[in-house]
Structure 1
Amino acid sequence: MAAAWALCLFLPGAHAQTTQEFTLKNGMKVIVKEDHRAPTVAHMVWYRAGSMDEQNGTTGLAHVLEHMMFKGTRTLKPGEFSQRVAALGGRENAFTSKDYTAYFQQIEKSNLEKVMALEADRMANLVFSKDEFAREIRVVMEERRWRTEDQPIPLLYESLYATAYQAHPYRHPIVGWMSDLQTMTVEDTKHWYERWYAPNNATLVVTGDVDARRVLALAEKHYGRIPKKPLPMTRTQVEPEQQGMRRVIVKAPAENPYVALAFKVPTLRDVEKDDEAHALDVLAAILDGYDNARLNARLVRTDRVAVSAGAGYSNINRGPSLFVLDGTPADGVTTEQLEKLLRAEVERIANEGVSESELERVKTQLVASQIYKRDSIFGQAMEIGTMEMSGISHKLIDRIIEKLRAVKAEQVQAVARKYFGDDKLTVATLVPLPLSEKKAPPPPKGLRH
């Protein structure tokens, strides 16, 4: 869990890099990070529209439109966008999250303008073909079956989110509920595109061997001519206070049982003031931030009561956050027993605290583990975009590192005491059914990510 949810931060001073921010007249934000170590560029467009912006009955719409963005414009045939990027020797893809949708290309620096022109074209000139939609919606439904319905742990997490959140749209899966996909129309995707895909709802992030002023000139040339749109006023439902433990059981074909415990905890909103979020980040690292962290060292290696045990906390979100403990019990151990053992590790920190030596070791691991992100041009673009979409400026990336370094042992102990009781807890348990003799189907054709 921790590896997948870890906060991606860059160490200041690892390389001399310049980041500049601009805003075009049509409201599009442009962020450029120069990194001249290799003649490559990452070009990303982020739209602040994800599955949390959908309505009941049309879940999955943000993701379906992501697929449709590769199905042609007024000047490009279906699939031609990807063919042109490939012909330039580049790679491209897209992804949808609960908070945003993003599109990217990684190319040799001399081809930046060409991919920028392509991306600007589909921001303004997407074509909605009923035939292409009919083919693509089948791909998405197969993707849902392959990635969620036929996969026990993703299926469990779908139920976990739907149980932990009763009002907030985080309760819906990004891929959408199958019944909504079955009734979705091409007009639905067109309406979503017209509603959200506007320069004033987009952030362009370019990292790599570029000159910021040159990138700005290209952005003005290609994106600057696209008119802004009036953006919809949305009222995201606020999740009501949870008043007691919730449980959900998922029965599915699987090799092993599994349990996940999700506690409602604060989200990082103000980097300077939200010290509890920084302390929770450190707590996650103490439990599962490196090979010899507490959960793995005690439950897996020493006591051998779990095949796997993890902790994860994602505090960079537009919506609320969960702190998750999870694991697969060893033979002879029940999920109920593992559940208690996972909680006992947090209770041990709540009762006994953390030594200064362990805290410093963990913080060093937490910060140092991120240095590799700075070796990736694409990783830098990802971090900038993710921060911006959550409402936290990319300019505060290094400040978050400083705040993590400043976390004290008593702060970690305090959050361990405060947020891990029963009243804010949702537990999801996987009860394995016999595995089918039938082999798993291959990934659906057209699957992009």
Structure 2
Amino acid sequence: MNTYSEAISWIHSQLKYGINLGLARMEWLLKELGNPEMKLKAIHVAGTNGKGSTVTFLRSILNEAGYDVGTFTSPYIETFNERISINGSPISDDELIELTRVIKPLAEELKKGEWGPPTEFEIITAMALYYFGNIRQVDFTTLEVGLGGRYDSTNIIQPLAGIITNIGKDHINILGDTIGKIAYEKAGIIKEGIPVFTGAKQREALSVIREETEKKQAVLFQLGSDFSIENNESIPSGEKFTFQSKETTYENLKLSLLGRHQTENAALAVASLLYMKEKKLLQLHEKDIRAGLKKAYWPGRMEVLREHPTVILDGAHNAEGLEAFLSTMKERYSKRKVQVIFAALEDKDLPHMLPLFKKINAKVTFTEFDFPRAANALKLKEIAKIEDAAIESNWRSLAERIVSELHPEDVLAVTGSLYFISEVKPFIVELLREKYQI
């Protein structure tokens, strides 16, 4: 394994093993690696939406407090390496090559055994844990669950705190077709005696999470009960709100990320870090929280590439994410001409998602992209049942045309699958650079 392209090619070759939930392969891999996960001071983040944003808020605040922070997130938006980052900077190509050299022989050996080959996500998880435990030790590590929680490969860790952002109907073919079943899988990250912070709202979900915390003798902190968001206001640069708990009030906290849902993710990050401060696991000041929240940046989540005209990217890849996207668009851009480009994976809950576009006054164009599970543009329109929606199979031609015709007060939003967003972003950035010579 001598080049970056060889390393990436081998990692992606493991995609053929699909999704295979369970912890036996991870336990074997990490034992062979000397159990690097045991060295980590970790925060574990699960949930249907908002995991990556919450990880970003945690990292940014801890950075402001002077700590080095490793993050493991998925999927990537700009470069594969960003899935394993330190202080917001992706690991180098050489480091990824070295990690592949370490993990590949173990993966080949594991493949011959009773548990079979590791999946791509298990390999990347093992790389991250080995990297943060053995190569570049950090003060704290934040890990985003890949799928579910209970049998996700990240659930091999013993964290300082667990966060469950919210519960929605996503991956129902794997996690279950009810909120209760999905909550049960997410609640699988709850460990014996480890505090849990949740933004879940549904009674059914909260009942499941409470039952699991009681069983594990863990303490549960709930958004809207133990801590809350007050006086939320959308401002030109993002969001402004007050964080309120029984012990603490922080007024006029500001975020650079757009959307009320981001204040919920921020509140979860703040509440968990304040708890860790109270338990003397870290040192933290109000100024660190304020600066960290304001500086936090997460690509592909209501990301504004340009103003006048406004061009936005947002990975609204399930019904809850699309609801949040549409709510933010209506709140901010209802008086402007809006065009939306949308592409999705066919295994999403499309019958529930697509009719939601009727809630927004915008010209919607359904498109498709080159990905194994990508939905056909015509199928998207048929499911949406939106008469005046357009279809265009070639998203590049579509983007070129729309960008070339944009006027200063127009808004273009590209949304849907995060895999689509990662493909689109560099292309649209280049289109904007050429048009506006920036």
Higher relative contact order at CA 8 Å, sep ≥6: structure 1 or structure 2?
1
Q: TM-score, normalised by structure 2?
A: 0.25
